[in-house]
Amino acid sequence: MRGRALGPFEVGAIGVGCMNLSHAYGRPPGPEEAARLLLRAIDLGVTHFDTAALYGFGANEALVGEVLAPYRNRITLASKCGMQGVTGEDGVKRRVIDGRPGTLRQTCEDALRRLRTDVIDLYYLHRWDKSVPIEDSIGALADLVRSGKIRAIGLSEVSAATLRRAHAVHPIAAVQSEYSLWTRNPEFGVLEACADIGAAFVAFSPLGRGFLAGAIPDVQAAAALVPGDLRRGMPRFQGAHLDANLRWLPTYRAIAGVAGCTPAQLAIAWLLHKAPHILPLPGTTQVAHLEENLRAGEVRLSAQLIEQLDALVNQHTVSGGRYPAATEAEIDTESQ
């Protein structure tokens, strides 16, 4: 696999997002099946693995740590802090955004233990806690760099303005945000800002939450999503929005046929062709899909085909917001 820069690290252009192995899209696989996927990724030359304290409320970091510890010197390991599970008075653990320096330091210690490592290569602030100045949160992460607990700092779902504020405190190695044909928010500023400061841009959900890969081919498939699947609450997968998005999906599949690849590979290849500092980060629970995703690096797209894709799937042709209103309020990414 061709390499790309992820901050100070050289990694394969396509990484593996590990979230799906613990939560988000229905029932996660069992430990043995999850381990099989991670080990197959190692076999295929993947060098960029991404997890977070939030995923499975620590379970995902523990899984990644257990399976990948023997290969630690062969991979670039990324995790995230600032959004994790906190147990309430009722005994229920809930997602909380907390960017206070003390919380970030403790989250890092917990991550190091779960990941079975002495240092995390790239540590993201998963969400900017808007009640805490970004300078304070980044200052705490800079202290972790100086103490040797982490090697580089990243940000997730931030605007270009917030990125520049953070970069003034400590160099930012990467920004990770949702980016795909059907989510164009990074094009409104942060992609350019990353290029300006020399940061990588890591594109999560490059397959449009599976929609671009054909995971939701019709209304019935959306209705059949299991309880707990995040897509059940996302506007793009509901009602009239879903109907509108399904109308352009057959044409998208036809373009994939012209390109000689699968719809999933087309979505990833489009990102690889956009700019050299973009690194797609697909996630999956199935080894066959992992292998399919990684072969996207072999796909070559003509300028004419890219123009067709951009005209078909963009912020004007995709219907519905990417998150529910309450979640949209938590992120800092530009919307226009």
pLDDT digits (tens, 9 = 90+) for 286-297: 999 999 999 999
Among the listed residues 104, 154, 151, the one whose alpha carbon sits nearest the alpha carbon of residue 132: 104
Alpha-carbon torsion angle 115, 117, 118, 122, nearest 10:
-60
Residue 311 resides in a domain: no
Residue 103 resides in a domain: yes
Cβ partners under 8 Å of residue 153, min gap 6: 122, 123, 124, 125, 138, 141, 142, 145, 166, 170, 171, 172, 173
Residue 316 resides in a domain: no
**Each residue's pLDDT tens digit, 237-278:** 999 999 999 999 999 999 999 999 999 999 999 999 999 999
pLDDT of the residue at 147: 98
Task: Pick 71 or 88 by higher pLDDT.
Answer: 71
Whether 55 sits among the annotated catalytic residues: the reply is: yes
- Residue 336: pLDDT above 80? no
95: CATH: 3.20.20.100
pLDDT of the residue at 89: 85
Cβ pair 285, 37 in contact under 8 A: yes
- Residue 332: pLDDT above 90? yes
Residue 12 resides in a domain: yes
Q: How many CB atoms lie within 10 A of CB 73?
A: 5
What is the DSSP pairing of strand 76-81 with strand 83-87?
Answer: unpaired
pLDDT of the residue at 333: 94
Share of the chain above pLDDT 70, in %: 100
Residue 257 resides in a domain: no
pLDDT of the residue at 70: 98
pLDDT of the residue at 23: 87
Q: How many CB atoms lie within 10 A of CB 102?
A: 9
| Mean pLDDT within 34-56 | 98
What is the H or E stretch that residue 300 is in?
Answer: none
Residue 7 resides in a domain: yes
Tokens linked to 107: 């989250």
pLDDT of the residue at 223: 96
| Mean pLDDT within 210-214 | 97
Residue 252 resides in a domain: no
| Domain interval for residue 51 | 3-209+269-298
Q: Which residue has the tokens 């023997």?
A: 70
| Four-residue CA torsion sign, 27, 290, 19, 336 | negative
Residue 189 confidence class, pLDDT cut points 50, 70, 90: very high
Cα 283 from Cα 18, distance rounded (Å):
6
Number of domains present in the structure of the chain: 1
Q: Which residue has the tokens 């199935």?
A: 286
Residue 149 confidence class, pLDDT cut points 50, 70, 90: very high
pLDDT of the residue at 61: 98
The pTM assigned to this predicted structure is: 0.97
Share of the chain above pLDDT 90, in %: 95
- Residue 202: pLDDT above 80? yes
pLDDT of the residue at 1: 73
| Mean pLDDT within 43-58 | 97
Across the chain, mean pLDDT equals: 97
pLDDT of the residue at 251: 98
Residue 92 resides in a domain: yes
Q: Which of 25, 55, 123, 179 is catalytic?
A: 55
Cα 319 from Cα 140, distance rounded (Å):
39
